[in-house]
């Protein structure tokens, strides 16, 4: 599981791609496979994303993040997914990298919508909660799964943008779910008081996503910068309240 040093590196998480950025990359995935991993191509695409989305410097998309997204998608496309072997009392293990992000074990405990598309028609992606800091991270690949003696199912996950040293076994029912969706400026009306959201939190050199609930919303007129509404949220894990803007929030998918 790694030591404290690995835990520190895990916290410097880069911002998530918006739904419009993912759509553009999925289109490129079909059209330009030969040049997708080229650094100059990825750099141009990165600059386009940062300018179009109006990201502030601290939350800008990095070229390596774009390149890694394409690498994972291309790897998933060529994986041959074997049928699940029979389980022992402690675990059912499969070979490393044999389970792709959208090829989970066929079990009722897995998240809803585990086919190729989500209920909203998006390419299905997942996020998992790390036991190290309680934050949610995008899943790049499901490496293996096991059934504990208690009957609970766990999966071994490779987090997006991290290496093997940061792989974790997580409980499927409690710590794996369909990926939360970054909100566009025009989507602020989709957030209501009482909603569960995923909030981007920067504190003490940490940059992570935590579950939170919306307590209060101050609606404001939008301007050239986009949504100016203010959302009072309370983090679930430490009950701290904070006023944030829409760009720091991700909503949960609808079913």
The enclosing domain of 139 has a CATH number of 2.40.50.40
Phi/psi for 45 (5° steps) reads -65, -40
Separation in Å, CA 174 to CA 123, 152, 170, 189, 233:
22, 10, 8, 29, 22
53 vs 129, which has greater pLDDT? 129
119/71 same-domain check: no
69/152 same-domain check: no
pLDDT at 232: 97
The enclosing domain of 205 has a CATH number of 2.30.30.140
pTM of the complete model:
0.62
In which band, very low, low, confident or very high, does the pLDDT at 11 lie, cut at 50, 70 and 90?
very low
Residue 178 pLDDT > 90: yes
62/134 same-domain check: no
- Residue 21 has, within 13 A of its CA and on its CB side, a CA count of 26
Rounded CA-CA distance 23/239 in Å is: 35
Residue 127 pLDDT > 60: yes
Tokens 């022992």 correspond to: 88
26/70 same-domain check: yes
Phi/psi for 233 (5° steps) reads -120, 160
SS3 annotation, 48-61: HHHHHHCCCHHHCC
Domain that holds residue 104: 80-178
The SS3 of residue 156 is strand
Tokens 């490393």 correspond to: 96
204/233 same-domain check: yes
> Which of residues 44, 62, 77 is at a domain's end?
77
In this structure, what DSSP letter does residue 188 have?
Answer: G
59/121 same-domain check: no
pLDDT at 135: 92
246/187 same-domain check: yes
In which band, very low, low, confident or very high, does the pLDDT at 216 lie, cut at 50, 70 and 90?
very high
In which band, very low, low, confident or very high, does the pLDDT at 254 lie, cut at 50, 70 and 90?
confident
Handedness of CA 11, 176, 179, 143 (dihedral sign): positive
47 vs 65, which has greater pLDDT? 47
186/242 same-domain check: yes
> Which of residues 77, 99, 128 is at a domain's end?
77
> Which of residues 77, 95, 115 is at a domain's end?
77
Say if residues 162 and 10 touch (Cβ distance below 8 Å): yes
Instruction: State the total domains in the chain.
Output: 3
73/118 same-domain check: no
Q: Mean pLDDT: which of 59-68, 137-146, 153-162, 233-242 is highest?
A: 233-242
172/87 same-domain check: yes
92/131 same-domain check: yes
Separation in Å, CA 147 to CA 46, 82, 104, 132, 224:
40, 17, 14, 21, 52
pLDDT at 237: 92
100/54 same-domain check: no
């Amino acid at each position: 599981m790694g030591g404290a040093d690995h835990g520190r590196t895990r916290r410097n998480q880069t911002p998530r791609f918006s739904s419009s950025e993912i759509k553009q990359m999925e289109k490129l995935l079909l059209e330009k496979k030969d040049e997708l991993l080229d650094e100059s191509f990825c750099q141009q695409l990165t600059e386009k994303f940062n300018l179009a989305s109006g990201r502030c410097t601290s939350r800008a998309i990095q070229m390596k993040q774009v390149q890694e997204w394409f690498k994972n998608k291309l790897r998933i496309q060529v994986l041959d997914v074997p049928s699940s072997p029979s389980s022992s009392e402690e675990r059912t293990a499969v070979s490393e990298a044999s389970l792709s992000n959208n090829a989970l074990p066929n079990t009722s405990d897995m998240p809803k919508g585990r086919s190729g598309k989500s209920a909203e028609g998006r390419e299905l992606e997942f996020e998992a909660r790390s036991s190290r800091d309680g934050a949610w991270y995008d899943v790049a690949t499901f490496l293996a799964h096991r059934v504990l003696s208690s009957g609970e199912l766990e999966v071994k996950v490779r987090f997006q943008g991290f290496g093997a040293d940061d792989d974790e076994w997580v409980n499927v029912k409690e710590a794996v779910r369909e990926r939360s969706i970054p909100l566009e400026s025009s989507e602020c009306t989709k957030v209501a008081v009482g909603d569960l959201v995923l909030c981007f939190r920067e504190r003490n050199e940490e940059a992570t996503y935590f579950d939170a609930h919306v307590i209060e919303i101050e609606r404001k007129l939008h301007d050239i910068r986009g949504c100016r509404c203010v959302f009072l949220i309370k983090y679930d894990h430490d009950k701290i309240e904070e006023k944030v803007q829409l760009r720091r929030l991700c909503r949960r998918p609808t079913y």
